[in-house]
Every structure is written in C-alpha cells, then in structure tokens.
Chain A
C-alpha cells in the first residue's frame, strides 16, 4: 500500500492500519491491495467483471466489514461492482468509502456500483465517505451507485458524506422494500468552487408497513451546483419521507426535486425541502460570543453537516 492510499484510507474509513480480525478488501488504483475474510464474512473476487462478492452468513452479529477504494493518481478510470449478500438476521456494519487523489492535469474517476441483498431480518449500517485530495488540477469524479433489496423486516441505514475535494459526483441510490422493511439514508454534501453534485434517490415501497426516510443536508458554496432528486413510490400501506435541507452561499445553485407517487390509499408520503442562506441572526449570535463573521459562518456550516 502506498502513502497516498494510507492517507485516503484514514480519511474515508478512519483507518490507520489494516483492521485486525475484520473482513476487508482494499482497492487501490483498480487492483486489490489487501483482502481478508473471516469465519462469517467471505470476500471473493468476481471473475466476469471487476469487483468482489461479500457474503455475510446468517446470524452474523457485530462484525464490521471494510471495503475502501482509493485512487492515488491521475488518469485512472476505475469501475467496480461490489455485491453484498447479507444473510438472515445478520447485524453488521459495512464501511465503504472512496478517496481520489489527482497529481496532474489529468482526471481520475471512480465508479462504484454497490448492490445489497438483505435477507429477512438482516440489519446493515452502511457508512460511505467520499473525499478528493491532491494538488493536481485533474478533475476528481466519484459516481457511486447503490442498489438495495430489503427482504421482510430487514433494516438498512446508509450514512453517506462527501465533504471535500470531489469535482463532480452523480450518486444514485435505488431501493426496493418488502414487508416491514425499513430504509434510512442520511446524506451530507458540501460543494465549493465549480463543483457539481447530483443526488438521485429512488425507492419502491412494495411491502406492507415498509418505510423509508431519506434525509439530505448540504451546503453549496462559491459557484457550485447541487441537484437533489427523490422519487418515492408508495405501492401499499407504507410510510415514505424525504427531506432536503440546504444552505446556499455565494453564487451557488441548489435544486430540490421531489417526486412522490402514491399508488395505494394507505401510502403516506411526505417531502420537505428547505433551501436558504445562513440566518443572519445565527451569525450575529456567534459574533456576540467573540467569533468574527467568517468564523461564525464556518461554525454554523460545521454544525449543520456534523
């Protein structure tokens, strides 16, 4: 593993070293820089396309699985398919994350396609962090796609954030939920400069009492642009909620586009969107504590995205 990978790893997965006793797969510039399976979690490389299959045995409890991907230089065009099969009643944490480092004027990109198949009663906390670093002017692209199939009474929470340095991102998250399944997505995004970030949520609530809660918090500064789209289809007795809460600064642009469709009398769907600049009184209050305007703004943004 090279130094840049190490740095990216610590940024995306708070990992300074390879995790002992945990299953992991570290992807570095389109190849594998380390892999480890455990008794309950098996990771094997795919043979037809780049990527891995992660099989988590039923009833596996309390394991964390790390699958970070790092791109350490310009001119890498990475595409990867990772499939997670989560057995019945397993309860695990999956830490993904992607760091892209460019060192010249050439661009690099990572397109990660992650599919999750949760069996009955399975529970997954999926943590995903995206960062871009490096002095190169080459653009850094990260386009994650996440597909989730949640069987009866399964639960998945996806916490995703992109706080720094990614020039362009188009993130698509699609889910299908069966009876009693619950999906929670928490997204945090900050864009600056000329960056562009697009979020697309698409959820099918197919099973009775299924529920989805999609929350996005974002800050757009400078001349950056953000688009937030959330589609929820309520096809039975279900609950769907999507929320976009955004702070706009400078000359940025933010769009929030909900699309809720109720195909059943007992489908309850809600969308909330709030876009606005930082409230003047918040800055004033922090200034009365001794912070100057810039410090106050930074504190407010930091809290908002925490």
Chain B
C-alpha cells in the first residue's frame, strides 16, 4: 500500500533521513521504534505530506504522492495523529471529530470514539480543543479524532506519551481491536514494549536509517536483549 523509495530529507543543512526504503503492506500493524532524534516523526510527517523529501519517491497504492499536498493525501486515506497535538481556540472536540469523520456522523458514534480513548463523552464533546486541556486529555482526543478518520493508513506518533496507565491499557485494547477488524494498515511510533509486542512487524529507525525491519518474533527479542535499556522501557517500570 505504501512504498518509500530511497527517501532522504535534510533541514537546516542537516541530513535527517538517509536513503530510506520501506514497504508497508495492506492490513498490517507495524510499530516503528528507535532512539530519540532518530527521525521517526520526520518520516511520519513525510508520509502525511507535512515534509517533502529532498530525494526519493513515495507511492501510495501505486500512485506517486511525493509532492501531493497534505489534504489530498488525507482524502486518499492517510491519517496522522501528531506526537504533539495542535490546540485551537473555539473549535470543540465535537467539531474536530465531525471534521475528521468527513461525513454526517451521529453523536452516538462520536461518543464511541471518545469512550475508546477513555474519555467520558458527556464531559468532553463540547470542550474546546484549547490550552485548558491537559497533556493526556489532548493526546487522547487526538487519537479519537484520528480513529474517526477510518483511513487506509493510520499513523500514530507516540500515542502513549503522557497518558496514564489506565488509559494506556485502553490504548492497547484499541490497537488490538483495530488490528482484528483491520481494513487498513496502522503504523505506530512507540517506545513501549507492550505496543511492540502486538505488532506484526517492527521497524527500527536510528540515525535517519532503517537499521532493522522484520516480523515481531524476530526483531523484538533482539531489541529486548541487546538494546533493552536504550529505548524500550516497560510502561510499568516507567511510572
């Protein structure tokens, strides 16, 4: 479904992504991990169209989308949950979910997305997506809005960051559910072993290059044994 061909990206004279080749097949649940600053978010934004590669090609369902504007990719089925969600004055959670769903969506369905991320719809639908929301709240709202997209390819950039243990368990459940009823592919950027565990494939991105990519059974043990403390912390240990 998605193919990156020899992608490189530089900003401010610094090479951030270096000759990346990557294929994501249909109906896969893929987790990308790697050290901070390795280029994961940069790569995810490139798929969403926020960054345009300085070299290489991006194909989505066989179509060259390398320079296609963000909104057209979105319309073709790319959804992206930001690592740092954007805040708006005056736009409510309800407005944002409705925009994401891009069709008439009933309130019951909207509530369902909020329930999934552990937020009580009654308290949140009318809230503004502004600076009054806590870090964990806005993060969960971001996930809910992206779930409402029902996209072919959904990218979550560190969805677990800043959310509490209870919601984290919820999140795992959401991903498991998505994985089961999957009608598209999911790419999650994460540092959490419990998210890595449920992946079909794991990608390790370090120094702007893919250092590992393969089935979870193969990659995860390697990560856990060799590079354990480097970037995989168990959620339980981190709190």
Q: Name A residues whose Cβ lies closer than 8 Å to a Cβ of B.
A: 217, 245, 279, 281-282, 284-293, 296, 299-300, 302-306
Interface segment out of the listed B18-26, B82-90, B164-172, B177-185? B82-90
Which residue of chain B has the shortest Cβ distance to A284 in the bound complex?
B50
- CB contact under 8 A between A300 and B91, given known A281-B86, A288-B79, A291-B99: yes
Q: Which residues of A contact B221 (CB under 8 A)?
A: none
Does A292 lie within 8 Å of B71, measured CB to CB? yes
11 A-B residue pairings within 8 Å (CB atoms): A285-B85, A288-B49, A288-B74, A288-B78, A289-B71, A290-B71, A292-B69, A299-B95, A300-B91, A303-B91, A303-B92
Interface residues of A, dominant DSSP: helix
Question: Size of chain B's interface in residues, with CB distance under 8 A?
Answer: 26
Does B74 lie within 8 Å of A290, measured CB to CB? yes
Q: Count chain A CB atoms within 10 A of each CB in B49, B50, B71, B91 and give the residue with the most.
A: B71
Does B89 lie within 8 Å of A245, measured CB to CB? yes
Question: In the complex, A117→B91 CA distance in Å?
Answer: 36
Which residue of chain A has the shortest Cβ distance to B129 in the bound complex?
A303
Q: Which residues of B contact A291 (CB under 8 A)?
A: 71, 99
Which residue of chain A has the shortest Cβ distance to B81 in the bound complex?
A288
Question: In the complex, A304→B85 CA distance in Å?
Answer: 18
Per-residue A-contact encoding for B186-230, CB less than 8 Å = 1, 0 else: 000000000000000000000000000000000000000000000
Interface flag for B1 (CB, 8 Å)? no
Other-chain contact of A288, B70, B88, B91 (Cβ < 8 Å): B70
Other-chain contact of B86, A245, A285, A292, A305 (Cβ < 8 Å): A285
- CB contact under 8 A between A303 and B90, given known A289-B100, A290-B102: yes
Question: In the complex, A72→B74 CA distance in Å?
Answer: 46
Per-residue A-contact encoding for B88-117, CB less than 8 Å = 1, 0 else: 111110011001101000000000000000
Which residue of chain A has the shortest Cβ distance to B87 in the bound complex?
A282
Interface flag for B75 (CB, 8 Å)? yes
Q: Which residues of B contact A300 (CB under 8 A)?
A: 88, 91
> Chain B's nearest CB lies how many Å from the CB of A102?
31
Q: Count chain A CB atoms within 10 A of each CB in B49, B82, B86 and give the residue with the most.
A: B86
- CB contact under 8 A between A303 and B95, given known A281-B86, A284-B86, A290-B102: yes
Does A304 lie within 8 Å of B71, measured CB to CB? no
Other-chain contact of A287, B70, B82, B149 (Cβ < 8 Å): B70
> Chain A's nearest CB lies how many Å from the CB of B166?
27
Q: Which residues of B contact A296 (CB under 8 A)?
A: 71
Per-residue A-contact encoding for B134-170, CB less than 8 Å = 1, 0 else: 0000000000010001000000000000000000000
